[in-house]
A and B are shown apart, each in its own frame.
Chain A
Amino acid sequence: DVKVTQSSRYLVKRTGEKVFLECVQDMDHENMFWYRQDPGLGLRLIYFSYDVKMKEKGDIPEGYSVSREKKERFSLILESASTNQTSMYLCASRTSGSLHEQFFGPGTRLTVL
């Protein structure tokens, strides 16, 4: 059974803190994605990675960075968290080829105070 796991379901941080969100997939997928989900805005792509150490900006990369040192793990980093980064963060993975679906993790609900 395919699995994408995220390190936390709920996270509360303070403004200015550095925040790490971790995502691990066990399907040997080449592609991994980070989205944020906000009411009325749907899913917006932050960053994605199509191979180890490779990354590409999505639609809203500002204020975020990513790291992919191993194929199964994709980390999202908020260098200095701000209140407008309070959101649901979803990780996904997929094998290469655009006809294949993405598999999603359960999400991390981040609150920045």
Chain B
Amino acid sequence: AQSVTQLGSHVSVSEGALVLLRCNYSSSVPPYLFWYVQYPNQGLQLLLKYTSAATLVKGINGFEAEFKKSETSFHLTKPSAHMSDAAEYFCAVTFQGGSEKLVFGKGMKLTVNP
């Protein structure tokens, strides 16, 4: 069965600092991986996804993620945090040719300090 692990529930960075949100997955078959962002009082919107084309995936708002099969990881990064990045971030996994369902991590709340 697939699963994702987002260790911790909160991370705090200063404006202009590097953002690193970790996601590790478990899947016995090639996965598809997604990062979603949820701003306060809103639904989730897609940041980026990995579907086995390129291992480094660029998304919206300057975010990117790198698929590393050897580490079973798909960490999300942004070189310089902005106040508007404050939100909750979810990693999710499904697998190629498989279920229509997504399995979500528990989420990570990002705070950006001025």
Contacts and interface: CB of A to CB of B under 8 A. Distances in A.
A40 B9 contact: yes
B44 interface: yes
A102 B32 contact: no
Nearest to A10: B41
B43 A105 contact: yes
A99 interface: yes
B90 A98 contact: no
Nearest to A104: B43
Interface residues of B, number: 26
Main secondary structure of the interface of B (DSSP, over half): loop
Contacts of B101: 33, 45, 48, 58
B80 to A, nearest CB: 26
A5 to B, nearest CB: 10
A92 B97 CA distance: 20
A43 B9 contact: no
Nearest to B52: A99
Interface in A48-105: 48, 50, 58, 90, 92, 94, 96, 98-99, 101-105
A99 B51 contact: yes
Contact of A98 (B9, B95, B107): B95
Contacts of A103: 46
B43 A106 contact: yes
A102 B102 CA distance: 9
Q: Which one of A31, A40, A94, A101 has the highest number of Cβ atoms from chain B below 10 Å of its Cβ?
A: A101
Contacts of B34: 101
Q: Which one of B44, B90, B96, B105 has the highest number of Cβ atoms from chain A below 10 Å of its Cβ?
A: B44
Interface string B76-114: 000000000000001000111111111011110000000
10 contacts: A4-B43, A42-B106, A43-B44, A45-B101, A90-B43, A98-B97, A102-B102, A104-B36, A104-B44, A107-B42
Interface of A: 4, 31, 33, 40-43, 45, 48, 50, 58, 90, 92, 94, 96, 98-99, 101-107
Interface of B: 9, 32, 34, 36, 41-46, 49, 51, 90, 94-102, 104-107
Q: Give me the 3 closest cross-chain CB pairs, A-B, nearest first.
A: A104-B43, A42-B106, A43-B104
